Amino acid sequence: MEKVPLHVIHLDQDDPKKCTARKLERFGHANVHSNIYKSPKRGFLLDPAAGVLLGPDDKVMIEKGAAIVALDCSWKQLTESLEIIHKKTRLKGRTLPLVLAANPVSWGKPGRLSTAEALALSLVLINKWEQAKSILKPFRFGDTFFQLNSEPMEAYSAATTNSELAELQWEFFDKPSSDL
């Protein structure tokens, strides 16, 4: 089975000791780019503000070689960092359905995933479970991530469309109120 190309645009904004992107690179699971222009030209950028989920509707493009690209930056500088990436690439922004973080920095927080967790969830969404489990193997929290999120991830991977996936997440998490 063909592996999905995984890439990370790394902006050196976090503690290097806690950087999951560099560890993914060391274990041969992802290509890390410090220069935005050297990142893939075709694919999907994981962007929590994109408003469109990554999922079954994107599988055909991924099977044709499109990459999944994560942005490794500080959560505090996320908006500014994403603006720069969107201006300098043609990657399509995609967000992820909610799951709980298992990394020690954001443990238990919905959606506050490390780069490695975000890439693993992306792979689960397109039924690449073996690759997803493989990339989290080097991390102490890897097994916990799958245990903590087993029910939602099983359901997400069975979704046949992105709209079905979007609705599924509210079976596991509270829907944000729209009366703000």
How far, in whole angstroms, is CA 137 from its chain's centroid? 16
In the chain, the amino acid numbered 133 is: K
pLDDT for 176: 78
For residue 179, name the pLDDT band (cuts at 50, 70, 90).
Answer: low
- Asked whether the whole model's pTM tops 0.85, one would answer yes
Question: Where exactly are the structural domains of the chain?
Answer: 6-171
pLDDT in tens, 130-153: 999 999 999 999 999 999 999 999
- Cα 81 off chain centre by: 16
Per-residue pLDDT, 16:
66
Residues 6+ apart with CB under 8 A from 145: 99, 101, 102, 103, 117, 120, 136, 139
First and final C-alpha spacing in the chain:
46
CA distance 42 to 14: 26
